[in-house]
Amino acid sequence: MKLGKFEVNAVDTGLFHLDGGAMFGVVPKALWSKKYNHGDEKNRIPLAARPLLIEFDNKKILVDTGNGNKREEKFMNIYGIDASKSSIALGLKTFNLKPEDITDVILTHLHFDHTGGSTIIENQKLIPTFPNAKYYVQKEHFDWAMKPTDKDRASFINDDFEPLIREGILEFTNGEMEIFDGISVIPVNGHTQALQMVKLKSQGESLIYISDLSPTVAHLTYTFGLAYDNFPLTTMEEKKKLLPKFYEENTIVCFEHDAFIQACRLADTGKGFGVGEIITISS
């Protein structure tokens, strides 16, 4: 889709599956299943791993890289990851691009389902997937990932980002800032420390890649949070602060993990915000 000067596409890296209870925390299944009723016999729900591709001028920018396909078979089975589709390189082929074409990679945070595709194994060695790209993450989040809590330690896998450090291609953002013309990062807390959403603004249009502040449309509801969130009340407050702004600006909200809806504009429900106009970024 066109958004002002930007060509924006959703990159398909297949589905993975997480326990529905873990994805909705304290919300009973009787409630969350009304909004996301797609559980399997193991109570796992299908989730997209949907990086964003942004092209303008000579830039080809990825936001997040999905799960990747370098994990061992046991890991892939536990999370229901289809290795035949989870390669970011395969997803880029749809747009006639190779990993070498990517100029920049903005990582919302370093959890494995967002940065697993950042590195690959080649000749039994871990190397960056995108050899010509710089990678960006919030410094505050990086520091957190280096010393995670017992609660979120399993979400960080060093193989996903240590090669980036070794090669000197991981750069740090600090707070809300514009890193390219019309492309800003906005840190939020709650899910993890200093997750950075990515906002595009051009020619009167705007889009927010909301990441795990609201991984699916169901999580737009203020009280629908993840059991994975380190600070659930903070997540709720961040949504109460930001969703009204996105509604007022008529911003397109892009969902990284919703397996069925790529993006939407928000509608005022009277108690918060839900799905308004549904938008397909890439068919």
Q: Are 38 and 242 in contact (CB under 8 A)?
A: no
The answer to whether the pTM exceeds 0.75 is yes
**What pLDDT digit, counting tens, does each position of 102-133 carry?**
999 999 999 999 999 999 999 999 999 999 99
pLDDT for 41 beyond 90: no
CATH code of the region 2-279:
3.60.15.10
Cα separation, 99 vs 133, in Å, equals 9
Handedness of CA 246, 247, 249, 255 (dihedral sign): positive
pLDDT for 39 beyond 90: no
For the chain, the structural domain boundaries read 2-279
Ramachandran region, residue 191 (left: φ > 0; alpha: ψ -120 to 50; beta: rest): alpha
150 phi and psi angles, rounded to 5 deg: -60, -30
Q: Are 166 and 127 in contact (CB under 8 A)?
A: no
Q: What CA–CA distances, in Å, run from 3 to 90, 117, 262, 277?
A: 24, 26, 15, 16
